[in-house]
A and B are shown apart, each in its own frame.
Chain A
């Protein structure tokens, strides 16, 4: 069964450093998303991406964050100048359809720990 692949599975970084989280969505999917889940809290939307541009972003997704689809397969989330409160599980997801979506496929996540 097709999978969304995320790397690395765990990233530890110093406060103030930049991190890039990588995702390979399912090949025929057109919509891509990043979500995060702080330990013990609910899954929160960060950003959606379609046709090489951001289609929607949350209040969390400020200038510290950026996304990119540098080639036909990868989808990355960059976090600049990381803060302690950025520590969370970051999930990438993809889907074939957008607003009337019929389900996302999530990756297994990257656990980001900022120390």
Chain B
């Protein structure tokens, strides 16, 4: 059983469309983070959310942390080909010294 379930696993959309990626768990997290990973590279931090219900915006990306701090979503508005990549959610449970990662969502934006 995965601690963090990401869905969908793959997402292919046309340029200009919107998309949402979900990250769900039955555990409560002290913080949840979203990373983007390019092939052969390490994950790059996009955002950290720490407060239940928190919403953060990064240009066309909107991140939300669930009220119960068990889930999160990443929404991309008017996706562009440059948004293509592997998006990872990762969470730190209360008392943990580590991040647990989801399996990732591969996003492909077609021009």
Contacts and interface: CB of A to CB of B under 8 A. Distances in A.
Interface string A78-114: 0000000000010101000011111111111101000
B50 A100 contact: yes
A33 interface: yes
A106 B42 CA distance: 6
Interface of B: 30-31, 33, 35, 40-45, 48, 50, 88, 90, 92, 94-104
Contacts, number: 71
A50 B44 CA distance: 22
Interface of A: 4, 31, 33, 35, 41-45, 48, 50, 55-56, 58, 89, 91, 93, 98-109, 111
Q: Which of B44, B88, B100: most chain A CB closer than 10 A?
A: B100
A100 B94 CA distance: 8
B97 A106 contact: no
B102 A42 contact: yes
Contact of B98 (A4, A56, A105, A109): A56
Contacts of B103: 41-42
Contacts of B33: 103-104
B92 A101 contact: yes
Contacts of B41: 108-109
